[in-house]
Chains A and B, each alone.
Chain A
Amino acid sequence: MKLLVPIKRVVDFNVKVRVKPDGSGIDIANVKMSMNPFDEIAVEEAVRLKEKNIATEIVVVSCGTANCQETLRTALAIGADRAILIDTNADLQPLAVAKLLKAIVAKEQPQLVILGKQAIDDDANQTGQMLAALLDWPQATFASKLDVANGVATVKREVDGGLETLEIKLPAIVTTDLRLNEPRYATLPNIMKAKKKPLETLTPEALGVDVTPHLVTLKVVEPPKRRGGGKVADVAELVAKLRNEAKVIP
């Protein structure tokens, strides 16, 4: 069984981003970039399925600028077999990414696509669901446990009230949540080996996909600053302030 894992290159989760002074977007010049953390979890899960001999091949794909090659190499070092870059400078929105991935699915014919539940830059939480709809495949989003056997994926999902277990017939889409696994670090020998693994480059034009944005960003601003930093000396003062000043407790 072949697995496809789409990965996004994003600003590292530890970076506190700054809004550009002209309000046109986020300043990402000279900012540390990494693989979207949920996608690291997706790659890890794919590698585990291969280690259990359930998967035979793992293909990773990233849509974006040539810099995404670095992110793809990281995925190859974790254990993916092959990488595809869809090279474009376009502003890619989830619908466009889903269409590009649909074209890759048509070409690669995977049985399972594992995506992150959410990219931590746009915080959209859409691409997996959109891909599932475009392919007319079943989906199991926000996965915290995944088992695959006999053409069925059994997935525990993190929902608002707790957990839900879903059975989906393959081919299918799964999106990862934080508790699915703890991704391993790539070892130096594996990083060296990853350099020799195949990385193919395609373009939206070659795939015949229109990636024109449907949404226009008019401006980006910083959130209002919260005035914090107040301190109280002890529990008595805290209770008094909450009662008499903030008036939030009786």
Chain B
Amino acid sequence: MTILVLAEHDNSSLKSATSHAVTAAQKLGDDITVLVVGYDAASVAHAAAQFAGVRRIVHVDAPHLQKPTAENVAAELLAVIRAGKYTHVLAPSTAFGKNVLPRVAAVLDVAQISDITAIEAPDTFIRPIYAGNAFATIQSKDAIKVITVRTTAFESAGGEGAASIETTPAQAEIATAKVVGEELTTSERPELTSARIVISGGRGLGSGDNFKLLEALADKLNAAIGASRAAVDAGYVPNDYQVGQTGKIVAPDLYIAIGISGAIQHLAGMKDSKVIVAINKDPEAPIFQIADYGLVGDLFDVIPQLTAKLSSP
């Protein structure tokens, strides 16, 4: 097996999602290449070279790849794939990976396999369907398997390797799409998909202002903050907080769902968490069916109590 992994990064550091995709690659074989597409991203190439099992880093660096579009990243991937002999092409199943890999698969005239959670054989994978209410075992008949990896299903890869770094010239820029702006959510908190503790709020919070209650609690626990779709739609928090089937998938050690009813679309994004706490004033809320510790109560009473209790152990 010869495996190509697309790195996700911000030109200075590698996103943790990449290390989970590398673990999936390690399960397929030990001939792993990581592709770094960016601008002034040498530190990323060096970081990627540390993974065990990674033999080679291909580093493409050019100004137009600073905030690259799907069109340009796909072009770089295709060039590397055509120059080598890869059996598998992997990326994390993030907004970035999902944007790029289907383009690559279509040009190669192969299927793309989304969001795998397990590898049964080099051509056989398990993936969730119907918001995780079923898991399908899928066999690919294609010569090249193009795959996105559910990061919560594979551990983070360790660092023992010392891969060679090859720099190659970039493909011609495709200028039909251009990134013209960004509104990134800034936060001092741990990143949602890799945090050990996640505290999520739903419609029950009633306003964006009330999320301050969750922030005080999150400060105590060094937790990330997430939300249900209803809370995002209502404008309480930014879109990148959404946990669920069509948002982010998280699986922390501890997930605390506050004022969230537990629709299947929400559960799809958090039910693999190790320990689930639900706080809801409705004893019939479906979230309690999957919670290890359910507390029936008004969040406006419970959360301040909980925050206070955690400061004085």
What is A's interface to B at a CB cutoff of 8 Å?
A: 11, 13, 16-17, 19, 26, 38, 93-95, 98, 117-118, 120-134, 137-142, 144, 154, 158-169, 172, 177-179, 213-223, 226, 228-232, 234-236, 238-239, 241-243, 246, 248-250
Contacts and interface: CB of A to CB of B under 8 A. Distances in A.
A215 B141 contact: yes
B295 A164 contact: no
Nearest to A141: B99
B153 interface: no
Contacts of B110: 95, 214
A230 to B, nearest CB: 5
Interface of B: 67, 69-71, 74, 94-96, 98-107, 109-115, 124, 128-142, 174, 176-185, 193, 197, 221, 229, 232-233, 238-240, 245-246, 248, 253-254, 264-265, 271, 274-277, 288-297, 302, 305-306, 309-310, 313
Contacts of A216: 138-139, 141
Contacts of B142: 214
Given A138-B176, A158-B240, A214-B142, A179 B106 contact: no
A166 B239 contact: no
A230 B293 CA distance: 5
A168 B176 contact: yes
A138 B279 CA distance: 44
Contact of B290 (A130, A162, A226): A226
Contacts of A172: 176-177
B265 A123 contact: no
Contacts of A129: 70, 98-103, 106
B141 A214 contact: yes
A144 B102 contact: no
Given A162-B240, A164-B182, A215 B138 contact: yes
Question: From DSSP, what is the main secondary structure of chain A's interface residues?
Answer: mixed
B130 A94 contact: no
5 closest A-B pairs by CB: A165-B181, A129-B102, A130-B106, A138-B177, A214-B111
Contacts of B136: 217, 219-220
B240 A161 contact: yes
A141 B70 contact: yes
A215 B145 CA distance: 10
Most chain A CB inside 10 Å of its own CB: which residue of B109, B134, B135, B193: B134
6 contacts: A125-B98, A130-B105, A158-B240, A164-B182, A221-B135, A235-B302
Nearest to A125: B98
A231 B103 contact: no
B112 A159 contact: no
A248 B245 CA distance: 25
Given A228-B276, A248-B275, A249-B221, A26 B130 contact: yes
Nearest to B100: A129
A122 B129 contact: yes
Nearest to B126: A221
